[in-house]
């Protein structure tokens, strides 16, 4: 399997003798949660209209599952991306950094948006209409603003733009990007900042957009306006954590008990608030933004310490899931959506359908990545055998 493509998520790994297996494993876990969450959306009692395949069976518990999981999974991804981005940029320099990112991030993003996102989005009319339009006629209108989207490849695009921003900071202020020689623990002000700033950004965006709305930015980015502030702040928090030697042997290491307790408390408050109050007034929207932000912070650090203390393992299955997680993320809709479509109109208990589809989707994504895509990439990168020259 190619280490250039398969061996990484869309962010570099730490080159450290004290390998942080738990961050690799956490990223793999988040990717599995993405597949499970995307399966759940099709079984929600009130699914978004733009979702690709909506089943005839539903349960309100899937609304609750999506509501909770959707808070923290992507901030975790951006935090880890930020944590590992700067050391690679410093080591390789701008040219080397972008040579790697162009092939691993930019090209897959552009290819995904131009060719795969239309095919994924075509599942909307295909799964709803008795006589859907031809794919080519659908593709011809896909790039209209009302339909256009990046599918799951939005993450690659946003990550690429964050790398551009990080590169600019590194170019104009290299001293601010150097790692400190001695560890520095976060202050109360750090946690207040990372709680309040994204909450304020969420609240302002929520005055003009619904909390789960998506918007295209001049075709070159597809974002949720209420969430983009979180993603930027947590990417920056990852950079800040690396610079201050957080998560290292002698640096700041969050305490498991404290963050686990905070996660449970904030999960309870978040669910209670979302069930009790709707985003109908600016006051309720402000409360939603603050609760969302505090739960996000607690869950992010809660999962980091959970995996650090209990899943810091280089066992075979963890290593293989980590190695294949980028490809699993990239291809999962092409396996998940056909499965969801095949059982869409079957009269069966919703939980049996959900468990079957989500489990098979994860398993088949892994098998396709490991034994088909990985092998093809590996063979394509092997140098052909040299044919010896014969003297005449």
Tens of pLDDT, residue by residue over 28-75, are: 999 999 999 999 999 999 999 999 999 999 999 999 999 999 999 999
Helix axes 228-243, 282-310, angle to 10 degrees: 40
Identify the band that residue 18 occupies on the pLDDT scale cut at 50, 70 and 90. Answer: low
* Among candidate residues 67, 239, 65, the one with its CA nearest the CA of residue 163: 239
- What range defines the domain where residue 158 resides? 21-380
Query: Which residues contact residue 224 at a Cβ distance below 8 angstroms, ignoring those fewer than 6 apart?
Result: 212, 213, 214, 215
Residues in the chain: 392
Query: Which residues contact residue 124 at a Cβ distance below 8 angstroms, ignoring those fewer than 6 apart?
Result: 50, 51, 52
Work out how many domains the chain is built from and give that number.
1
14 within domain boundaries: no
Mean local confidence (pLDDT), 170-198: 95
387 within domain boundaries: no
Tens of pLDDT, residue by residue over 359-386, are: 999 999 999 999 999 999 888 877 555 5
386 within domain boundaries: no
Task: Provide the token pair at 343.
Answer: 């059982």
What is the percent of the chain with per-residue pLDDT over 70, rounded to a whole number?
Answer: 93
388 within domain boundaries: no
Mean pLDDT of all residues belonging to the chain: 93
Whole-angstrom distance between the N-terminal and C-terminal Cα of the chain? 40
1 within domain boundaries: no
- Using a 10 angstrom Cβ sphere, with 0-12 exposed, 13-18 middle and 19 or more buried, the burial of residue 257 is exposed
Predicted pLDDT of residue 14: 40
Collapsing DSSP to helix, strand or coil, 243 comes out as helix
Predicted pLDDT of residue 377: 87
Predicted pLDDT of residue 352: 98
Tens of pLDDT, residue by residue over 111-161, are: 999 999 999 999 999 999 999 999 999 999 999 999 999 999 999 999 999
DSSP-H helix ranges across 58-147: 60-101, 107-111, 117-121, 123-128, 135-142
> What global pTM score does this model have?
0.91
168 within domain boundaries: yes
6 within domain boundaries: no
* Among candidate residues 143, 14, 134, the one with its CA nearest the CA of residue 83: 14
Mean local confidence (pLDDT), 344-372: 98
7 within domain boundaries: no
């Amino acid at each position: 399997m190619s280490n250039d493509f398969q061996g990484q998520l869309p962010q570099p790994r730490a080159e450290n003798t004290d390998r942080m297996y738990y961050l690799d494993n956490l990223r793999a876990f988040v990717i599995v949660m993405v597949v499970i969450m995307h399966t759940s959306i099709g079984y929600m009692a009130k699914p978004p209209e733009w979702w690709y395949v909506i089943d005839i069976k539903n349960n309100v518990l899937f609304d609750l599952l999506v509501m909770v999981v959707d808070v923290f999974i992507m901030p975790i991804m951006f935090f880890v991306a930020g944590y590992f981005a700067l050391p690679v940029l410093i080591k390789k320099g701008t040219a080397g950094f972008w040579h790697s990112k162009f092939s691993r991030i930019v090209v897959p993003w552009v290819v995904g948006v131009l060719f795969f996102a239309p095919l994924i989005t075509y599942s909307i009319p295909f799964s709803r209409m008795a006589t859907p339009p031809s794919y080519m006629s659908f593709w011809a209108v896909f790039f209209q603003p009302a339909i256009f989207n990046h599918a799951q490849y939005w993450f690659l695009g946003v990550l690429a733009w964050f790398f551009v921003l990080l590169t600019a900071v590194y170019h104009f202020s290299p001293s601010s990007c150097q790692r400190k020689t001695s560890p520095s623990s976060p202050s109360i002000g750090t946690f207040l900042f990372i709680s309040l700033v994204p909450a304020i950004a969420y609240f302002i965006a929520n005055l003009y957009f619904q909390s789960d709305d998506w918007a295209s930015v001049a075709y070159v980015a597809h974002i949720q306006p209420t969430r983009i502030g979180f993603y930027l702040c947590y990417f920056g928090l990852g950079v800040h954590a690396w610079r201050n030697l957080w998560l290292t042997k002698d640096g700041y290491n969050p305490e498991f008990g404290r963050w686990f307790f905070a996660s449970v408390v904030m999960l309870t408050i978040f669910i209670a608030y979302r069930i009790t109050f709707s985003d109908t007034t600016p006051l309720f929207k402000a409360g939603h933004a603050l609760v969302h932000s505090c739960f996000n912070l607690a869950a992010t650090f809660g999962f980091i310490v959970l995996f650090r203390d209990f899943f810091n393992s280089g066992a075979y299955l963890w290593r293989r899931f980590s190695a294949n997680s980028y490809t699993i993320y990239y291809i999962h809709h092409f396996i998940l959506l056909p499965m969801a479509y095949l059982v869409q109109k079957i009269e069966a208990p919703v939980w049996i359908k959900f468990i079957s589809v989500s489990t098979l989707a994860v398993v088949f994504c892994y098998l396709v990545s490991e034994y088909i895509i990985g092998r093809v990439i590996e063979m394509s990168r092997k140098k052909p055998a040299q044919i010896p020259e014969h003297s005449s």
